[in-house]
Chains A and B, each alone.
Chain A
């Protein structure tokens, strides 16, 4: 029983990362109907940005030499801000020109794939293949609650994922900019006629999505402190699958999908030979899609021609 609970805690933490990344996929898809395959790599860039900010601020002989707590307090907003700028830059130089020229969505998706590869290999060329490790930003405590081991970091990760989800859900359903985002997704051609600045809404979407990925990257680097240029690829793909299973385009779907995938992965590894983890995990997800091709929260979409 304790072991089962321990597995649940593990899955909650691992699912938080999937959920944070999946939210970015789903936001961009929901607004633009674009699968931003570079998103996993934006997550990686977020982790690296966190690494550079925290090492600069922490350096004993550097200009700042701040304490651990202050560094963490500054690293979080700076990472989110800088990562969101990376996302916006990508939108400006890669996706917007194509959109302006009225390129088919397929070409934009391919562009996104290429952007991801550019980010990975640019990082490799710039920083070399050596792995990096994030300095410790949080004094780690291991709590044991009736046989279940939890660290303070794990609790923060789970809380952060839930907080981001609630805020995002509120922003999209309750605010004017959220309404504008839903409007873009509803009818992109009628929108400018209503006087809504579409480019601004799209930029905002990319900012929010990439900012969340940046936060995810920071938390990920704190939990799994080995950074390498390809760290976002597999996690990004899996988070994308999570978003699709949850129903891509729906925020609740991305969130639920992320945790679902993590639970399936961890429980398969826990009760079946770990060798078959991905095989069983993805077979189960395939079964879910088979039953509900639009995902758990997704609604069938009719395409207007």
Chain B
């Protein structure tokens, strides 16, 4: 008797659970965003959220996303990963387990995307990181995709551009040792540069920790090695500290940066010392045309500033997920099956025309797309210098 009651109770509970799940899945499309709203790179989180909200409002205003003839509203859930790897894993798990999201967009920085990618892959939930460029984030993880190009591609772009522009053969590198992105790109750059100019052409290869504010020791060493330029694969908050300090120590050579510079906050922190420097990135806002320009204008009208590359890549990443849901042409009541459906659609994507260029995924879930090099103009705008595509290389 008691057993029967117990099993009855269990059964009811299960049914209830299944019912709520089915109801939730029926009504809204749930996408989770484990993003850095606080911590080292809060502007990145803000850009992500702003771009995603803009897209959500646009689609929900039309009644929702059209899947197989029915309209479904979007529900985006934002969780703060505090720019920390361990928090990124926690909130990713929370979104997968508690919120039962269909897919994940984010985290943004490789430092969080590499560990969070493992979590998403283990839990068989499709994840697309808009901004991470470290190969490890997607490597051997069939459930993880990205919208940005890779560091092994970005590094030769930087090396070629610097050779051409600065006409030098001696490079110095300063990077953050505990950041997968910074460390990975520094290593890739070293290989690419030495391939061009022979061993010993990297005259200084220095690193610093995640909380450092004073870089005078590293910079003094770098200046003493007399490089032709200094490559900084760093987050924008460090760039704003390193460049003025280098100038104070008498360094008069140019700096070259990577895509992590491209935040809207760089110029409000760095001002004059950053002007005239170059960095490689995903898109150039100044002089954009077509859909890219439409996106920039809309974003600027809504939030009051030019969207950075994070915002543009997030826009593309969310659109890729929505494309996968729409072309999947059916809604599975079971969230696990729905996740599988989304993943399969994303993996089979042939060509996607995004605002950061057209792309398709290779076997690792990495897009094949172009990079651009921009110069920080005197008015603080990031102006287009040149575009480098993978097939040219």
CA distance A86 to B211 in the complex (A): 25
By the criterion CB–CB under 8 Å, are B209 and A278 in contact? yes
Q: Which of B207, B216, B218, B237 contacts A13 (CB 8 A)?
A: B216
CA distance A20 to B250 in the complex (A): 26
User: Which residues of chain A have C-beta atoms less than 8 A from B369's C-beta?
Assistant: none
By the criterion CB–CB under 8 Å, are B248 and A133 in contact? no
By the criterion CB–CB under 8 Å, are A265 and B248 in contact? no
Interface string of A125-143 (1 = CB under 8 A from B): 0001111010000001010
Interface string of A225-251 (1 = CB under 8 A from B): 110101101110000000000000000
By the criterion CB–CB under 8 Å, are B269 and A270 in contact? no
By the criterion CB–CB under 8 Å, are A130 and B42 in contact? yes
Tell me the smallest distance from the CB of A266 to a CB of chain B, in Å. 4
User: Which residues of chain A have C-beta atoms less than 8 A from B237's C-beta?
Assistant: 131, 226, 228
Tell me the smallest distance from the CB of B290 to a CB of chain A, in Å. 31
Tell me the smallest distance from the CB of B201 to a CB of chain A, in Å. 19
Question: A-side binding surface: helix, strand, loop or mixed?
Answer: helix
Smallest CB gap from A153: residue in B: B248
Q: Which of B46, B217, B224, B265 contacts A266 (CB 8 A)?
A: B217
**B240 part of interface (Cβ distance < 8 Å):** yes
Smallest CB gap from B37: residue in A: A129
User: Which residues of chain B have C-beta atoms less than 8 A from A234's C-beta?
Assistant: 211
**A255 part of interface (Cβ distance < 8 Å):** no
User: Which residues of chain B have C-beta atoms less than 8 A from A131's C-beta?
Assistant: 42, 237, 265, 269
By the criterion CB–CB under 8 Å, are B248 and A149 in contact? yes
**B221 part of interface (Cβ distance < 8 Å):** yes
Given contacts A133-B240, A226-B269, A275-B177, contact A6 B218 (CB under 8 A): no
User: Which residues of chain A have C-beta atoms less than 8 A from B265's C-beta?
Assistant: 130-131
**B375 part of interface (Cβ distance < 8 Å):** no
CA distance A269 to B215 in the complex (A): 9
By the criterion CB–CB under 8 Å, are B248 and A231 in contact? no
**B244 part of interface (Cβ distance < 8 Å):** yes
**B66 part of interface (Cβ distance < 8 Å):** no
Task: Identify the interface centre among B218, B220, B249: most chain A CB within 10 Å of its CB.
Answer: B220
Given contacts A133-B268, A274-B207, contact A10 B216 (CB under 8 A): yes
Q: Tell me which residues from 143 to 163 in chain A have a Cβ below 8 Å from any Cβ of chain B.
A: 144, 149, 151, 153-154
Given contacts A142-B248, A149-B249, A274-B206, contact A269 B39 (CB under 8 A): no
Q: Tell me which residues from 176 to 220 in chain B have a Cβ below 8 Å from any Cβ of chain A.
A: 177, 206-209, 211, 213-214, 216-218, 220
Q: Tell me which residues from 218 to 243 in chain B have a Cβ below 8 Å from any Cβ of chain A.
A: 218, 220-221, 224, 237, 240-241
User: Which residues of chain B have C-beta atoms less than 8 A from A153's C-beta?
Assistant: 248
Smallest CB gap from B42: residue in A: A129
User: Which residues of chain A have C-beta atoms less than 8 A from B244's C-beta?
Assistant: 225
Tell me the smallest distance from the CB of A145 to a CB of chain B, in Å. 11
CA distance A231 to B213 in the complex (A): 9
By the criterion CB–CB under 8 Å, are A270 and B213 in contact? no
Smallest CB gap from A6: residue in B: B220
User: Which residues of chain A have C-beta atoms less than 8 A from B218's C-beta?
Assistant: 269, 274
CA distance A142 to B247 in the complex (A): 8
CA distance A40 to B248 in the complex (A): 26
**A170 part of interface (Cβ distance < 8 Å):** no
By the criterion CB–CB under 8 Å, are B220 and A10 in contact? yes
Q: Which of B209, B217, B245, B250 contacts A270 (CB 8 A)?
A: B217
**A224 part of interface (Cβ distance < 8 Å):** yes
By the criterion CB–CB under 8 Å, are A14 and B248 in contact? no
Interface bin, chain A: 35 or more
**A3 part of interface (Cβ distance < 8 Å):** yes
**A114 part of interface (Cβ distance < 8 Å):** no
User: Which residues of chain B have C-beta atoms less than 8 A from A266's C-beta?
Assistant: 216-217
**A7 part of interface (Cβ distance < 8 Å):** yes
User: Which residues of chain A have C-beta atoms less than 8 A from B247's C-beta?
Assistant: 142
User: Which residues of chain B have C-beta atoms less than 8 A from A6's C-beta?
Assistant: 220, 249
CA distance A230 to B177 in the complex (A): 20
By the criterion CB–CB under 8 Å, are B220 and A142 in contact? no
User: Which residues of chain A have C-beta atoms less than 8 A from B45's C-beta?
Assistant: 129
CA distance A14 to B249 in the complex (A): 14
Given contacts A129-B37, A274-B207, contact A3 B214 (CB under 8 A): no
**B43 part of interface (Cβ distance < 8 Å):** yes
Tell me the smallest distance from the CB of B305 to a CB of chain A, in Å. 12
CA distance A89 to B218 in the complex (A): 40
Given contacts A6-B249, A129-B38, A234-B211, contact A274 B217 (CB under 8 A): yes
Smallest CB gap from A130: residue in B: B42
CA distance A298 to B245 in the complex (A): 36
CA distance A129 to B44 in the complex (A): 11
Q: Which of A130, A144, A267, A277 contacts B250 (CB 8 A)?
A: A144
CA distance A128 to B45 in the complex (A): 12
CA distance A212 to B95 in the complex (A): 45
User: Which residues of chain A have C-beta atoms less than 8 A from B224's C-beta?
Assistant: 3
Smallest CB gap from A133: residue in B: B269
By the criterion CB–CB under 8 Å, are B207 and A275 in contact? yes
Smallest CB gap from A235: residue in B: B213
CA distance A130 to B207 in the complex (A): 25
Q: Which of B43, B213, B271 contacts A130 (CB 8 A)?
A: B43
Task: Identify the interface centre among A131, A144, A274: most chain B CB within 10 Å of its CB.
Answer: A274
By the criterion CB–CB under 8 Å, are B269 and A14 in contact? no
By the criterion CB–CB under 8 Å, are B250 and A149 in contact? yes
**A286 part of interface (Cβ distance < 8 Å):** no
CA distance A267 to B269 in the complex (A): 29
CA distance A267 to B46 in the complex (A): 39
CA distance A154 to B217 in the complex (A): 15
12 residue pairs bridging A and B, Cβ less than 8 Å apart: A3-B224, A7-B216, A10-B216, A124-B38, A128-B42, A131-B42, A133-B240, A149-B250, A226-B241, A233-B211, A269-B221, A274-B208
Residues of B within 8 A of A (CB): 37-39, 42-43, 45-46, 177, 206-209, 211, 213-214, 216-218, 220-221, 224, 237, 240-241, 244-245, 247-250, 265, 268-269, 271
* With A6-B249, A234-B211, A274-B221 already in contact, 16 other A-B pairs whose C-beta atoms are closer than 8 Å: A7-B220, A10-B214, A10-B216, A10-B249, A13-B216, A128-B42, A133-B269, A149-B250, A226-B213, A230-B211, A233-B211, A267-B217, A269-B221, A274-B207, A274-B208, A274-B217
